[in-house]
Amino acid sequence: MLFAKSYAVDGIVVAVDPAARTMLVSHREIAKYMSAMMMPFRVEDAEELKGLHPGERVRFELVVLKDRTVARHIRPTGQADGAIPPPAGKLEIGAELPDFVLTDQNGRAVHTSAWRGKVVAIDFIYTRCPLPDVCPRLSANFAMLQRKFAETDLVLVSVTVDPDYDTPKVLTEYARRWAAGPQWTFLTGDVAPLAKALGEVYWADEGSIGHNSTTTIIGRDGRVAAVLDGSNFRVDQLAHVVRQKLEGHR
Amino acid sequence: MRLTIFLSMVLAAAAQQQPKGDNCAPPPSALAPTLPAKILPGMGTVHLAITTSSPEAQQFFDQGVAQMHSFWAREAERSFLQAAALDPDAPMPYWGVAMVAGGDWRPRFQIDTLDAFFGRSVPPAMARARAAAKKAVELSAAPGKASDLEKMYIAAVAARRDANEKDPEEAFVKGMRALLAAHPGEVEAELDLALMIMRGFTTPDKKPVAAGSTEAVAILRGLLVKAPEHPGVHHYVIHGFEGSTFAKDAWPSCEKYSQLVTNIPHALHMPGHIYSQTGRWSDAEKAFADAAVNERKWMAQEKLYGDGHHGHNVHYLATAYSFEGRYDDAIEAAKELLGFKENPAQMAAADGVGTAHAQGWFAMLRTLVQFEKWNEILGDEMLPVLPRARQEAWRHWAKALAYANTGDAAKAHDEAGRFDAALADYRAKTHRANPTELEVARQEMSAHLEMAAGHMDKALKLFEQASKAERRLVYTEPPYYPRPVAEPWGRAAVKSGKASVSARAFKIALEQYPKDAHVPSGTAEAR
């Protein structure tokens, strides 16, 4: 390609449109080219869109030509040490979330089917988590979503992966610490079936609990719309994914 | 010059991005322990009088100090927190939390080694230690709440926990020296000082790494007279003397320590380190077996206890059995660990040797190779595939040796090729150079291949070189080379009818591992 410049891009996929051969990406700053924002990228090869899903973190090369730009060499980014395989039974993007019954911070039974018709963001945390880059960051993300989307019907749900310790009483205190309003629910109880369905893997480690920290967005139709793995994304990228679902786009 | 260090410190360093300890003591708890604590039997008796209105707080404080001296950070912190709950105005329970919560109350040479590999790292739990140090300082400023002695203990740990302190350990040492200048003969302070100046001994020549190595030994010898019933004294003697030319001097402390502290796995385990490096294999086995029984109890009680220390302990047990010639027992111990499952993160890691499962796997490899169970190795059943590049390299190495020693040179060469492919995979996945012990393994494998081809002189030369390289490996406990190269070197020399060479090789093997049962009887003990 003549007169082309290329840039490395790191972003979160917000939506994929195979027909238009584009992907909507919330990207970080592109050095010497563009500040962080959400924008569509046309891909050089439509095959590269296959398998991408909303919420996925990708890196790719952005080639800037005189009259157009194209994205190529799209690579989902895994952890350096290899991604933790999802559990068998993890719901695919587009699959319907079955009904699960859990207990909220007030001790009330909560049916996940009650969220139908609303956009729901679900993350997995535990209140004793000592790693600032994991649960506290995820909760900070939700605290920001709570402020940013206060006027919407977005439902925020944080599910504990330490249900033995995180009783409703403990979750009430945690909710207070994060100034959680009525929009934000904390769930405990038999969390394993919901975790499995959403691809959350957790285990008892030495002196702590390990987990892969997924954040899932459920659409108004009750189907899985996006999954973000880990906690290494910017909150504005999560907000872009959420807004996309709130505004009803695919 | 090489520093004596513990088992998986280096290997775990290579295997994990975040150091979680070396498995030689249960790791510090990333999570603050929950209350209530209980007064537990078998922790050892220690008393450090503190200013408190609550005799019960004093009792939990003393238990915390005793647990601290057996490096049981999690339970020590729990005890100190209980003491603080019983007397919130007492500063010394917070001193205790500041001492242990960071998980770095351990011999200085271990801290130095971890720092050398990882750089100075700050675990999440350090925030608790720092907050506690600050709290202790604040509380001790209240009139009548702390004696001059307590204030000096608190000042020392506060200096170590100062986030701006460039050399926290030296700051602590300075504080301890100041305390001892003001309060000569203070047993707890002498012990703390000894641990924090203990720099270990070099390998293979066993010389003091620094002046602190010798000073710590002198302090501890004095404490043996002054405080013969103090569990910490005997524990620190074991650490202070291990790897030295006078490791046998720690034998009485090995015996005493496990009598004084009967309910902490690390306390029961540690004497085995000295026993195994001084040829007392059956005593080592008893120490490790007792620790395993005790540890299984704690593991069953606490969901987050973890299995890393148990893996280390039983791996060492299997190693002792193997060196003593107890094949069936070594296999049994290895099988127990192979029964442990790795967690999802461990399974997904590109490299790893510190899990209980991985330690069992290596114990199995060691046993089969040391006993030259070539058919079992080739049978693929006893040594299962552990699908990581490092373990695949070892597995193909063992199979290359098995084929070479059973007369199939062509297949031995095939396995050598697979060994190299596994190492290439290792480099690609970890972005690290080959592990040094596998470089030695390659040298040894070449010797076996030459032997299979009938080139005995060349094989003997390669064995000698491999043995030399193996003895230069970083010292680990248990050793992360399956068995001394001098064993097969000596046997190859016997086959060649070279008596002087075999005598030299076997002598070297015994220097490395006194009373190694795989050295023919009649070989003179090196010491």
Is A130 in CB contact (< 8 Å) with chain B? Answer: yes
- The answer to whether residues A247 and A24 touch, using CB atoms and an 8 Å cutoff, is no
Q: Are A209 and A129 in contact (CB under 8 A)?
A: yes
Task: Please report, in angstroms and rounded to a whole number, the separation of the first and last CA atoms in chain B.
Answer: 23
Q: Are A69 and A130 in the same domain? A: no
Check if the beta carbon of residue B117 is closer than 8 Å to that of residue B141.
Answer: no
ipTM at complex level: 0.76
Which residue stretches of A71-203 are H helix?
Answer: 135-148, 168-177, 192-197
Q: What would the DSSP string read from start to end of B324-369?
A: HT-HHHHHHHHHHHHTSPPPHHHHHSS----SHHHHHHHHHHHHHH
Same domain, A52 and A112: no
Domain boundary among A61, A76, A91: A76
For residue A66, being part of any structural domain is answered with yes
Nearest CA in chain A to B349: A81
- Residue A89, sorted as left (phi over 0), alpha (psi -120 to 50) or beta, turns out to be left
CB-closest option in B74, B343, B349 to A207? B74
The number of distinct structural domains making up chain A is 2
Residue B24 pLDDT: 66
Other Cβ atoms within 10 Å of B7 Cβ, number: 24
pTM reported for the whole predicted model: 0.86
Same domain, A131 and A208: yes
**What residues contact B461, with CB distance under 8 A and at least 6 apart?**
none
Enclosing H/E stretch for A160: strand A155-160
Task: Please report whether residue A228 resides in a domain.
Answer: yes
CATH number at residue A111: 3.40.30.10
Buried b (16+ CB within 10 A) or exposed e, A27-54: bbebeeeeeeebeebebbeeebbeebbb
Please answer whether residues B346 and B352 qualify as being in contact, where contact means their C-beta atoms are separated by less than 8 angstroms.
Answer: yes
Overall average pLDDT of the B196-211 stretch: 90
Percent of all residues in chain A with a pLDDT value above 90, rounded to a whole number: 72
Residues A108 and A70 in one domain: no
Respond yes or no on whether the N-terminal peptide bond of residue B41 is cis (omega within 30° of 0). Answer: no
Over the stretch B151-166, which tens digit does the pLDDT of each residue have? 999 999 999 999 999 9
**Contact criterion met (CB < 8 Å) for B304 and A85:** no
At residue B117 the predicted structure's pLDDT band, cuts being 50, 70 and 90, is low
Same domain, A72 and A105: no
pLDDT at residue B474, as a whole number:
73
Residue type, B493: A
Q: What pLDDT score does B439 carry?
A: 97
Q: What is the mean pLDDT of residues B63-69?
A: 98
- Looking at the structure, do residues A106 and A72 belong to the same domain, yes or no? no
Flag if B31 and A128 touch (Cβ within 8 Å).
yes
Chain A environment of B34 (Cβ under 8 Å): 165
B315, pLDDT greater than 90: yes
Nearest in space to B281 (alpha carbons), one of B517, B488, B449, B501: B517
pLDDT of residue A178: 94
Does residue A91 belong to any structural domain of this protein? no
pLDDT at B22: 56
Q: How confident is the model at residue A243 (pLDDT cuts 50, 70, 90)?
A: very high
d(C-alpha A150, C-alpha A183), whole Å: 8
Do A105 and A64 share a structural domain?
no
If asked whether residues A129 and A180 sit together in one domain, one would say yes
- B8 band by pLDDT with thresholds 50, 70 and 90: very low
Q: Residue B118 pLDDT more than 70?
A: no
CB contact under 8 A, A204 and B304: yes
Cβ-defined contact of A128 to B17 (cutoff 8 Å): no
Residue of A202, A205, A212, A229 to mutate, interface with B, max B Cβ within 10 Å: A205
Residue partners of A188: CB distance under 8 A and separation at least 6: A102, A103, A104, A105, A159, A160, A163, A166, A167, A168, A171
Alpha carbons A217 and A230: distance in angstroms, whole number: 14
B328: phi then psi, degrees, rounded to nearest 5:
-60, -40
Residue A48's nearest CA partner among A65, A39, A61 is A61
B121 falls in which pLDDT band (50, 70, 90)? confident
User: Does A36 map to a domain?
Assistant: yes
Strands A224-228 and A155-160: unpaired
* % of chain B exceeding 70 in pLDDT: 93
How many Cα atoms within 13 Å fall on the side-chain side of residue B338?
18
The 3-class secondary structure across B410-477, one letter per residue, is HHHHHHHHHHHHHHHHHHHHHCCCCCHHHHHHHHHHHHHHHHHCCCHHHHHHHHHHHHHHHHCCCCCC
Residues A39 and A108 in one domain: no
Q: Check whether residue A119 and residue A56 sit in a common domain.
A: no
Q: Is residue A94 part of a domain?
A: no
Establish if A117 belongs to a structural domain.
yes
* Nearby residues of B522 by Cβ (< 8 Å), 6 or more positions away: none
Give the C-alpha separation, B220 to B194, whole Å: 7
Measured in angstroms, the CA of A61 and the nearest CA of chain B are apart by 23
Angle at A207 between CA A206 and CA A211, to 5 degrees: 75
List, for residues B221-277, the tens digit of each pLDDT value: 999 999 999 999 999 999 999 989 999 999 999 999 999 999 999 999 999 999 999
We report the CATH number of the domain holding residue A20 as 2.40.50.320
pLDDT of residue A85: 85
| Claim to verify: residue A69 and residue A121 sit in the same structural domain | no
Q: Rounding to the nearest 10 degrees, give the CA dihedral for residues A213, A237, A131, A124.
A: -30
pLDDT confidence bin for B212, thresholds 50/70/90? very high
Strand partners, A38: A26
Give the pLDDT score at B303: 85
Min Cα separation B430/chain A (Å): 8
Instruction: Give me the domain span that covers residue A63.
Output: 5-76
| A47 and A139 housed in the same domain | no
- A155 neighbors A128 (Cβ within 8 angstroms): no
Asked whether residue A199 is domain-assigned, the answer is yes
Q: Is residue A86 part of a domain?
A: no
User: Is the pLDDT confidence value at B112 over 90?
Assistant: no
Nearest by Cα to B508 from B474, B465, B477: B465
